[in-house]
Chains A and B, each alone.
Chain A
Amino acid sequence: MIRTLAGLVIVLILGAVAAAVIPEMQMREELQGVGYSYASRGMDETGSSNLVTAVIVAYRGLDTLGEVVVLFCASTAVVLMLTLYPIGVKASEPSRIVAFTAKVLPAPIMLFGVYFIAHSHLSPGGGFPGGTVIASTFLLVMLGSSSVPDRNGRLPAIESLAGLSFGLLGFWGIMTAGQFLNNAFLGTGTPGSIISGGLIPLISIAIGAKVASEFSGVFKAFRNSGGEA
């Protein structure tokens, strides 16, 4: 009762704050500040048609490197805890529908994920969503099978290699252009073609491989933690 009342009071106070603050954010008619700079110069400077990817990978590449580290810490913590303290809940046998779906759908879904990553500089998508889509195929395969995955897979190797290549691509920029994660030293190409955007496609592939192997590792740790079905 006390907990419900306290929660109600806190939510009402914050709701009043939101009701007072949000109407102050007037609808803008024009781009301002960094948003304007990214929109006006982004395509010329990075060669990427997708300005969101240009911001994530080129302009804020260092922040993305930090984000990848945060993701690595979280997934390592999940895998470590599940390995040290197995949950021990037996997974149930997959139903026929799930088992059949897990045979048919993984290939097209994975192709979609690869497309997301490979076209990150051209169309909506990128390394993070593409990697997540690829990891979902592994989840589907695990759901459709009653056996647990091999404990000694190569996921950690792929993950380490992807993280290392992100860092090395950054240092490549120091060597050639004197700037960490410099995007333009490879040449930016013609915006809209598949070979364009300088370093952006390469870093997207590294991010995609890392996200896919990390999330697959988390799913695998959950699955192995339950033991054989």
Chain B
Amino acid sequence: MSTAFYWSIAGTAAGLILVGLWGVLTRKHVLRIALAFTVADTGANLLLVWSGYLPGRTAPVIDGSIPASEITSAVVDPLPQAMVLTSIVIGVAVAALFVVVGVLASRRTGSADVRRMKELRW
């Protein structure tokens, strides 16, 4: 992986977080806000995985192709990947909760527009 590609991943991750945040702040439809939230979530996960990357190395799954003595110089950091696995699952659960609250709130006000939800006014 070239250096340019390495940094473009970081740029993509930061871009996804910012786009998601932009969507959460400016969109009006409650399901679009939930979607923007998951986009930001994806960006955060990508940034975490990127931070554990080491050049020229393989996934932290040890099979016959990696000699036991060279593990520490052959695999990328397993810790960020473990954290991201946790983060993805929690992200799905939070997104489901987000959608349910959004749908129920739009039932209550008769519109999916967040400007019509007076209880949530900011």
Is B25 among interface residues, defined by CB-CB distance under 8 A? Answer: yes
- Complex contact B104–A81 (CB within 8 A): yes
Is A140 among interface residues, defined by CB-CB distance under 8 A? Answer: no
| Shortest Cβ distance from B6 into A: residue | A27
Chain A 16-75 interface residues, beta-carbon cutoff 8 Å to B = 18-19, 22-23, 25, 27-31, 34-36, 38-40, 42-43, 49-52, 54-56, 60, 63-64, 67, 70-71, 74-75
Band of interface residues on B: 35 or more
| Shortest Cβ distance from A3 into B: residue | B26
Is A124 among interface residues, defined by CB-CB distance under 8 A? Answer: yes
Q: How far is the CB of B90 from chain A (nearest CB, A)?
A: 6
Q: Which of A5-13, A97-105, A144-152 faces chain B?
A: A5-13
Bound complex: CA of A39 vs CA of B22, how far in Å?
Answer: 38
Q: Name the one of A18, A64, A81 contacting B100, with C-beta atoms under 8 angstroms.
A: A81
Is B61 among interface residues, defined by CB-CB distance under 8 A? Answer: yes
- Complex contact B86–A63 (CB within 8 A): yes
Q: Contacts A34-B79, A38-B78 hold; do A10 and B62 have CB atoms under 8 A apart?
A: no
- Complex contact B54–A30 (CB within 8 A): yes
Is B120 among interface residues, defined by CB-CB distance under 8 A? Answer: no
- Complex contact B72–A74 (CB within 8 A): no
**Please, which residues of chain B bring their CB within 8 A of the CB of A78?**
96-97, 100
1/0 contact string of B59-95 vs chain A (CB within 8 Å) = 1111110001001110101110110011011101110
| Shortest Cβ distance from A80 into B: residue | B100
- Complex contact B59–A124 (CB within 8 A): yes
**Please, which residues of chain B bring their CB within 8 A of the CB of A50?**
60-62
Bound complex: CA of A128 vs CA of B7, how far in Å?
Answer: 30
Is A191 among interface residues, defined by CB-CB distance under 8 A? Answer: yes
Is B101 among interface residues, defined by CB-CB distance under 8 A? Answer: yes
**Please, which residues of chain A bring their CB within 8 A of the CB of B59?**
124
- Complex contact B26–A39 (CB within 8 A): no
Is B109 among interface residues, defined by CB-CB distance under 8 A? Answer: no
**Please, which residues of chain A bring their CB within 8 A of the CB of B54?**
27-31
Bound complex: CA of A77 vs CA of B103, how far in Å?
Answer: 14
Known: A124-B59, A124-B61. 11 other contacts (CB 8 A): A3-B25, A4-B26, A22-B10, A27-B3, A35-B79, A50-B61, A52-B81, A55-B82, A64-B86, A74-B97, A132-B89
| A interface residues with partner B (beta carbon < 8 Å) | 3-4, 6-8, 10-11, 14-15, 18-19, 22-23, 25, 27-31, 34-36, 38-40, 42-43, 49-52, 54-56, 60, 63-64, 67, 70-71, 74-75, 77-78, 81-82, 85, 87, 122-124, 126, 128-129, 132, 191-192, 211, 215, 218
